[in-house]
Structure 1
Amino acid sequence: MKALSLCFMLLLSFSSYATTEVTATVSQNPVAVGQAFTLEIVANDTLSSNEFDPSVLLRQKFVVGSTSTARQHTSINGQSSTQTRWTTTLLVREEGNYLIPSFNIGGENTQPIHLKAKKIEAIEPSKDQVRMEVSLDSAEVYLGQPVTFTAKIWVANSLDQANIFAPNMLDAKVEKLGDDKQDLEIVDGKRYRTLTRQWLITPEKAGEYEVRGPRLSGLANDINHRARPIDIAAQTLALTVKAPPANFPGQWLPSHDLLLNEEIQPLQSDYQQGQAFTRIINLTIAGITEQQLPEIDIDYGPNFRVYPEPYQDRTIVKDGIVFAQRSLNVALIPVTTGELSLPGWSLPWWDLSSDKLAKAEIKARQIKVVPAPENQALNLNNPMPPTNATVASSDTGSSWLTWLFGFAWLITLAALIWFIRQSKLRPQGPNLAPQQEIQQNSDYWQQFAAACKQGASHQAEQALTNWVNQQQATGQWRSLLKKITAANWANAPQQLDLNEFYQACLAYKRETEQTTQREQLSLSSLNP
């Protein structure tokens, strides 16, 4: 009897698994050639998203878009139900008869679907439902001058699975500009959701061009909540690209405004020979991209040791205008004394506001360099410190030192054995370093400075390594560390002036400590 009951329960269990139902439906039939429609498969069970493989539709000559999976669990009056839903966007390019085959989902097969595709004129949705307007911020630009293309979309009800394809233009680079802006607007008493997207188009050749507008596709729901595929193509706009003036000097650089300035850190009335300082050159140009930023190349001559850092470039979008910024930090160490000149630098550019040649300039600056203190001058000329050890000239003195060191070694060995025995007897606890040792280990920068002053390159390398690891420093610090490591351990040892190396590190340390104090370069003076 128990066996019969068990068999009955197993039959009930199997019957419950057999109740899984799977259905497949399409959003429309027949379908229009070139217009998207959706295939929806629903199973009344919780299944893995991998149960449905839409790739088999490719063999049936369908264009297969994205597939989304959704799961739902409901409970009504104590009756629970679960559901797994797959939704795939499909499209056909030619008219004719098509077959959506049967899919095996969770052990159950869907019914195949026969489709008919017809060529019909694309039906634009009414402007009361979905519309798109496009514009260029200028119809005439110079070669290399970016132009902003703006598309604004109005949606009355809802738009699902929306795709916006970027505009395109021959001989130009097109890239998305900033983030989309979404808003709500009321037009003629009707409420719309709006989306504004912008692209930056940079022409690479002169001539007359057409900018083909973006395309919008998706599923638009009407007032009765019926989803219909839409495909909207924006209008084509004309753009004239002018060639640069033939007499323009240097690299072609068109802009509405440009700002060039410099900073000296620290700014002092005079500097010592061998004392490093930093010159920072900031360049901000309106209406160009980072790729168009010019090189900042200045020859400082034999009076300075020059340690430039990599450019710091970035792009800012403010009030719909693109600004490209470049900052160059150069550590300078004067090697001669007297009145020295920091060279100036000028940059020609084309002012689009006045349509004429302009020039930005940093003027030359005179600085006074005084001789270094006498002890530092000695270090410059003789970086290796004199040894304090004195070699005895007599055999008697040498023998006495040998016995002394031997006796000290025996005492040290005995103390070590005693310490090991005592540590085994004591209970184990946390390893706490003395306060003095902690303070010494945390003062790695002073150790590095002292080692450089004494000409001890290996000690300087170890101290700098400890300091860099302690600060978790990256970037230029790692490059400086590699420099002293290469000098110490290369197959052919390199000569490294530790005093100059320390001054370069000190200048960079001061500069990084003051970065938080330097405010972001103000753009208000650019009058965008």
Structure 2
Amino acid sequence: MKALSVFFILLLSFNAYATTKVTASVSQNPVAVGQAFTLEIVADDTLAASEFDSSVLLRQKFVVGSTSTSRQHTSINGESSTQTRWTTTLLVREEGNYLIPSFNIGGQNTTPIQLKAKTIAAIEPSKDQVRMEVSLDNAQVYIGQPVTYTAKIWVANSLDQANIIAPSMLGAKIEKLGDDKQDLEIIDGKRYRTLTRHWLVTPEKAGEFEVKGPRLSGLANDINRRARPVDIAAQTLSLEVKAPPASFPGTWLPSNDLLLYEEIQPLQSDYQQGQAFTRIINLTIAGITEDQLPEIDIDYGEDFRVYPEAYQDRTIVKDGIVFAQRSLNVALIPVNEGELTLPGWSLPWWDLSKDQQASADIAPRTITVVAAPVNQQLQSLPSNQQALPEVQEKPSTSLWTWFFALAWIITLALLVWVIKRKKSNAKQEAQLAPDASAVDLDDDYWSQFAAACKAGQKLQAEQALAKWINKQQLTSSFAALHKEISAANWASDDKTDFDLLAFFQQCQALKKQGQGKKEREEGLSSLNP
């Protein structure tokens, strides 16, 4: 019994020693209304960043900024310790008493913090020191139509510990758009540092809404290098959100511009039954993000076996405009022969520039499918095999009869081998012989590529090069070059220094190198039948 008591005492002491210690603290208490402060939570253990969830603070009427997580490991006199630290920026907009609730971190609860917020006369800096202006690129939009919110800040001397809290709006999703732009401006002979930040506001409900402006706080140095706290709240802007027209069919899709086109790889005059080819559908929509891209659903019926790949989606920003792109690759295998139809596809959308319904369409395409070649040699084998037993079943009357029968069988076997050999060679020659229509199409695509390069048309050059590459058996050599011109076309900044003529000469040299290699390989194959 005594031993059992000692065991429980040791167990309790071990648990007490192994328990994670967690503390919570704020940078100041009381706090000033409208001025940012920090909440810091420290755990003496290595924990995941997800252990702390700041969303519960929203229910306590806090404005919650970003949260940073850091870990520190120290070793003093052979004793090691580890800390995980979470730091969150908070702000309150009204005077009163607030509660920072208890957080469960690593199985332990922090102590709640009673917080008092007071209204302190804000030090409004003169416009010669710090000022902020905000704007919306559109004051009247539809549901799901993103609008760009821009804030520009001018600072005369310096601004330390600067913190910008994003704008807010009920019934909308707000996300930061791109990187901040910093610059220098001279106004009335005075030099200012400027910072421009963009947000994308996507309304999800219809009605009249107010977009509360961002808030800027920090320490501004005046001309005498004295640091003074500043707190600037941008003006509130109005935004009217309209509901989609009741007559619009399908999923609502507003945009200023939309591009839809297809590619067939390889592009041929006809296809064999059972021969796979790829249909690529490309969709680019201006003014939306990847989350709003529509599904591409096409029913190919019973004439094809269909093997779609996963979507390839991306969002890019070019010249301040957001573009969402979706590409769908579908492998198709024709099951039947004859004239088969690849079904078209229609995508209804709302043209914001004209404020009317529009439609993007892919027209149906008819392809010719020929029957797969039949190996007639396999069909002739049963008749030969049936002839052999008839010879063997004949009664043998003498040794000479057996001799001539054996000679006849050997002769027949040699004849079958010669026929097989000739057919095999003929088949190889047919496979090696180039298709005249394919060669003509190949040269036409290359001519289009050359003409586009000489005319300085980057987009047409990229499309023609892609079509030419798709007709080749080996495309890996040109993959890097095609990626280079594609990156030049879709770069976020306009690359005017891209030399199309030099690019064409590089492709021309690689093409000649590939043709010489192909001729050498064909010469070697003829020496090794």
TM range (shorter): 0.5 to 0.7
Structure 2 match to 1:332: 332
1:67 deviates by 11
Structure 1 match to 2:183: 183
Structure 2 match to 1:350: 350
The amino acid across from 1:193 in the alignment is R
Structure 2 match to 1:461: none
Distance 1:274 1:95, change over 3 A: closer
C-alpha separation between the residues in 2 aligned to 1:336 and 1:89?
Answer: 65
The amino acid across from 2:347 in the alignment is L
Structure 2 match to 1:420: none
Structure 1 match to 2:122: 122
**Is the 1:36–1:229 contact (alpha carbons within 8 Å) kept by the matching residues of 2?**
no
**Is the 2:144–2:204 contact (alpha carbons within 8 Å) kept by the matching residues of 1?**
yes
**Is the 2:136–2:149 contact (alpha carbons within 8 Å) kept by the matching residues of 1?**
yes
**Is the 2:145–2:255 contact (alpha carbons within 8 Å) kept by the matching residues of 1?**
yes
Helix, strand or coil at the partner of 1:328: strand
Structure 1 match to 2:464: none
Distance 1:513 1:147, change over 3 A: farther
**Is the 2:34–2:231 contact (alpha carbons within 8 Å) kept by the matching residues of 1?**
no
1:513 deviates by 8.1
C-alpha separation between the residues in 2 aligned to 1:217 and 1:523?
Answer: 37
1:360 lines up with 2:360 in the alignment: yes
Helix, strand or coil at the partner of 1:195: strand
C-alpha separation between the residues in 2 aligned to 1:117 and 1:296?
Answer: 53
The amino acid across from 1:263 in the alignment is E
1:95 deviates by 10
The amino acid across from 2:211 in the alignment is V
Helix, strand or coil at the partner of 2:302: helix
1:117 deviates by 10
**Is the 1:308–1:330 contact (alpha carbons within 8 Å) kept by the matching residues of 2?**
yes
- Summarize deviations over 1:203-246 as a string: whole Å, max 9, x none: 10110000000011111111111212211100000000011111
Q: TM (normalized to structure 1)?
A: 0.53
Helix, strand or coil at the partner of 1:275: coil
The amino acid across from 2:358 in the alignment is A
1:520 lines up with 2:486 in the alignment: yes
Helix, strand or coil at the partner of 1:520: helix
The amino acid across from 1:358 in the alignment is A
Unaligned runs of 5+ in 1: 1-26, 39-62, 70-87, 97-115, 380-505
Helix, strand or coil at the partner of 2:174: strand
Helix, strand or coil at the partner of 1:128: coil
- Summarize deviations over 1:350-380 as a string: whole Å, max 9, x none: 111111111110001111111222249989x
Distance 1:291 1:367, change over 3 A: same
RMSD: 4.0
Distance 1:237 1:303, change over 3 A: same
C-alpha separation between the residues in 2 aligned to 1:290 and 1:90?
Answer: 31
1:271 deviates by 1.1
1:312 deviates by 0.5
Structure 1 match to 2:74: none
1:253 lines up with 2:219 in the alignment: no
C-alpha separation between the residues in 2 aligned to 1:278 and 1:156?
Answer: 59
Distance 1:277 1:377, change over 3 A: farther
1:520 deviates by 3.5
Structure 1 match to 2:507: none
Distance 1:129 1:332, change over 3 A: same
1:123 deviates by 2.0
**4+ residue runs over 6 A deviation:** 63-69, 88-96, 376-379, 509-514
Distance 1:256 1:338, change over 3 A: same
Distance 1:523 1:67, change over 3 A: closer
The amino acid across from 2:486 in the alignment is Q
Distance 1:515 1:293, change over 3 A: farther
Structure 1 match to 2:171: 171
**Is the 2:146–2:201 contact (alpha carbons within 8 Å) kept by the matching residues of 1?**
yes
1:37 deviates by 8.5
- Summarize deviations over 1:467-522 as a string: whole Å, max 9, x none: xxxxxxxxxxxxxxxxxxxxxxxxxxxxxxxxxxxxxxx99x98988765375396
**Is the 1:35–1:229 contact (alpha carbons within 8 Å) kept by the matching residues of 2?**
no
C-alpha separation between the residues in 2 aligned to 1:378 and 1:208?
Answer: 77
Q: Which residues of 2 match residues 274-289 of structure 1 at below 5 A?
A: 274-289=274-289
The amino acid across from 1:222 in the alignment is D
Structure 2 match to 1:305: 305
Figure out how many residues of one structure are paired with residues of the other and give that number: 311
1:118 deviates by 7.3
Q: Which residues of 2 match residues 61-72 of structure 1 at below 5 A?
A: none
Q: Which residues of 2 match residues 439-478 of structure 1 at below 5 A?
A: none
C-alpha separation between the residues in 2 aligned to 1:239 and 1:89?
Answer: 28
**Is the 1:95–1:117 contact (alpha carbons within 8 Å) kept by the matching residues of 2?**
yes
Structure 1 match to 2:226: 226
1:203 lines up with 2:170 in the alignment: no
Helix, strand or coil at the partner of 1:302: coil
Distance 1:278 1:67, change over 3 A: closer
Aligned identity (percent) is 78
**Is the 1:67–1:89 contact (alpha carbons within 8 Å) kept by the matching residues of 2?**
no
Helix, strand or coil at the partner of 2:486: coil
C-alpha separation between the residues in 1 aligned to 2:231 and 2:377?
Answer: 78
C-alpha separation between the residues in 2 aligned to 1:294 and 1:91?
Answer: 39
Structure 2 match to 1:391: none
Q: Which residues of 2 match residues 21-60 of structure 1 at below 5 A?
A: 35=35
Helix, strand or coil at the partner of 2:280: strand
C-alpha separation between the residues in 2 aligned to 1:205 and 1:378?
Answer: 69
C-alpha separation between the residues in 2 aligned to 1:378 and 1:125?
Answer: 94
Structure 2 match to 1:237: 237
Distance 1:341 1:515, change over 3 A: farther
**Is the 2:343–2:364 contact (alpha carbons within 8 Å) kept by the matching residues of 1?**
yes
The amino acid across from 2:133 in the alignment is E
1:157 lines up with 2:157 in the alignment: yes
Helix, strand or coil at the partner of 1:297: coil
The amino acid across from 2:266 in the alignment is P
C-alpha separation between the residues in 1 aligned to 2:361 and 2:335?
Answer: 26
C-alpha separation between the residues in 1 aligned to 2:120 and 2:354?
Answer: 52
Distance 1:191 1:338, change over 3 A: same
Distance 1:263 1:514, change over 3 A: farther
C-alpha separation between the residues in 1 aligned to 2:377 and 2:283?
Answer: 37
C-alpha separation between the residues in 1 aligned to 2:194 and 2:141?
Answer: 29
Helix, strand or coil at the partner of 1:374: coil
**Is the 1:154–1:192 contact (alpha carbons within 8 Å) kept by the matching residues of 2?**
yes
1:264 deviates by 0.7
Structure 1 match to 2:290: 290
C-alpha separation between the residues in 1 aligned to 2:125 and 2:36?
Answer: 14
C-alpha separation between the residues in 2 aligned to 1:190 and 1:243?
Answer: 47
1:90 deviates by 11
**Is the 1:279–1:331 contact (alpha carbons within 8 Å) kept by the matching residues of 2?**
yes
